[in-house]
Amino acid sequence: MSRIQANFHLYAEDLPRAINFYRQNFGFEHLGDLDTKTALQWAALRVENAIIWLGKNGANVGLVLLVDQSLESIISNLRQNNVIFFLPEEVAAAPDTEIIVNTDWGKHAWFFDSEKNIVMLFEPATE
């Protein structure tokens, strides 16, 4: 059985303020962030075995599942159980994007759980 780590994604209107809040008040370790030329997009903070991802207000994921096996094989298995995958609006506009979004830091895929909650599968990039 593969290992899956659950992480949580929280909305943040002001990412630097949110990063400082969790670092100062709870001692979370700042693991990194994505700072584009236009704006800070997201940040990851760790406390013990949990990771909280802070995203811009309007982000659309509540639960992130980090997986340690091929995202393609997981998607194939989930589709056999009629799980519905989709692309978030901000990603769907990207050229040549299908169900899996490839980035420098890993692969992403989004689906709805049985209660219509949005879940993101994330396979970290290997170095």
Could you read off the pLDDT of 40-52 as tens digits, one per residue?
A: 677 888 877 777 7
pLDDT tens by residue, the chain, 127 residues: 467 676 777 777 788 888 888 888 768 888 887 666 656 677 888 877 777 777 776 555 667 788 888 999 999 988 998 888 988 776 666 555 578 988 888 899 988 877 677 888 889 888 7
- Fold agreement between 1-59 and 61-127: yes
CATH number of 1-59: 3.10.180.10
Q: What is the pLDDT of residue 109?
A: 92
Expressed in angstroms, the distance from the first to the final Cα of the chain is 23
Domain assignments of the chain as residue spans, ordered by start: 1-59, 61-127
CATH class of domain segment(s) 61-127: alpha beta
User: How high is the pLDDT of residue 59?
Assistant: 56
